[in-house]
Structure 1
């Protein structure tokens, strides 16, 4: 089984962190290919960033069309997910989507923890898209962020530990999602010391993608014709869906 994991920002060190977590979560025989967005921004923190990242994510999917059995958009907020599901002939999952649904299977109410409050509007948008806002116990977010995305996991780990405790003790969360590609792997490290399950979006998406491949190897689509003059990588994604 081949899984394509796309980091929707342009920071290669974040891609490496996501790839390591994806490989740790993958089952025997699953091959992980990780890609960095071919253009865009070093960190996705606004809705404008999210829009740019969606196009970059679709270009990455198109560039590798035909070479994966399922794909994962490894950016919390899932940029480009709706379009990817329309166009791709294989399962495509976002790490927000996967984390939310996995959390719902482990507890009645889940909390969301991340390193910057700037991301919260996109997380709320994803919750509404999946109809899961009522299952969310609340958000515990760090301050506005202006550092190196590749260093977030190490630098923010003490903050994340404190915010998880607040989500459990003050919000009543029965499960906590550690949200954001730059925090990949933090849930695995902190999990043993926490009183509730911690969910890593990348790990959840890999496990669910493996299950989806086994359930539905191909998903034929009726997609629109590619516009004239479209970027070749995006046009490949359209051709794959036709």
Structure 2
């Protein structure tokens, strides 16, 4: 009998396949140490970036459809044991959790729980100003509003920064400095597509950086 490989699905709630590949590769090493494979899937419909509450809300349906479609069509020897929703607003996470008999982790959820551990004060740095209220609400949803120092934003629009990685890096570094000035002991880089920049920012030593995707991988390992 063929042995199945326990696999974690990383679902990208935007339609950018390159972002899916980048995020999948980022979580692969930590999952591999726990004997877990990883498979990235991309939603079939929606924008290439979730930048406002309307697109974030609409992404919930697309995430549900993508996960249901994948689970209805098993792939060879892969046995799906967990799902990571790889957008900082966690669209569809709550509904998937009630629908599936396996762990469902959002990168927003995981980064908030990691940053707030032991009652630490934390902030968020992001390039999506229209999602600031949604991110604050997500912090409250996980019960950590009192230790949250707030959201600091880049000066430029998210699509501008997506096209200019160096500018994105510089402006997010400034946002991290702002979080530290607000009293944050650690800073979440809030956005799945910001994962590469988050890793670079961690090397600057401005503050402890909480990377959403590795945080989600660690939470999956703990749950599985």
TM interval, shorter chain, is 0.7 to 0.9
Q: Which residue of 2 aligns with 1:53?
A: 59
Q: Which residue of 2 aligns with 1:37?
A: 43
Dislocated runs of 4+, deviation >4 Å: none
Distance in 1 (CA, whole Å) between partners of 2:164 and 2:25 is 15
Unaligned stretches of 5+ residues in structure 2:
1-5
Q: How many residues are aligned here?
A: 212
Q: 1:231-242, aligned counterparts within 5 Å?
A: none
Match of 2:132 among 97, 120, 127: 120
Work out whether residues 136 and 150 of structure 2, in 8 Å CA contact, stay in contact via their aligned partners in 1.
Answer: no
Unaligned stretches of 5+ residues in structure 1:
214-242
Change (3 A) 1:39 1:174: same
For residue 166 of structure 1, report the CA deviation from its aligned partner: 1.8
2:17 matches 1:12: yes
Change (3 A) 1:111 1:146: closer
Q: Secondary structure at the match of 2:8?
A: strand
Change (3 A) 1:24 1:119: farther
For residue 154 of structure 1, report the CA deviation from its aligned partner: 4.5
In the TM superposition, what whole-angstrom CA distance separates every residue of 1:171-215 from its partner, at most 9, and x where no partner exists?
1110110110110132222213214321111110011101101xx
2:152 matches 1:140: yes
Q: Which residue of 2 aligns with 1:23?
A: 28
Distance in 2 (CA, whole Å) between partners of 1:134 and 1:78 is 21
Give the CA RMSD over aligned residues.
1.9
Q: Which residue of 2 aligns with 1:194?
A: 205
Distance in 2 (CA, whole Å) between partners of 1:202 and 1:148 is 23
The alignment's TM-score, normalised by the length of structure 2, stands at 0.87
Change (3 A) 1:152 1:25: farther
For residue 9 of structure 1, report the CA deviation from its aligned partner: 0.6
The alignment's TM-score, normalised by the length of structure 1, stands at 0.81
Distance in 1 (CA, whole Å) between partners of 2:201 and 2:164 is 15
Q: 1:155-194, aligned counterparts within 5 Å?
A: 155-168=167-180, 170-194=181-205
Distance in 1 (CA, whole Å) between partners of 2:128 and 2:57 is 19
| More contact order relative to length (CA 8 Å, sep ≥ 6) | 1
In the TM superposition, what whole-angstrom CA distance separates every residue of 1:144-163 from its partner, at most 9, and x where no partner exists?
62626854654411111111
Distance in 1 (CA, whole Å) between partners of 2:133 and 2:22 is 24
For residue 5 of structure 1, report the CA deviation from its aligned partner: 0.4
For residue 103 of structure 1, report the CA deviation from its aligned partner: 0.5
Q: Which residue of 2 aligns with 1:99?
A: 111
In the TM superposition, what whole-angstrom CA distance separates every residue of 1:78-133 from its partner, at most 9, and x where no partner exists?
00111111101100010000000001126610010011212212212211221221
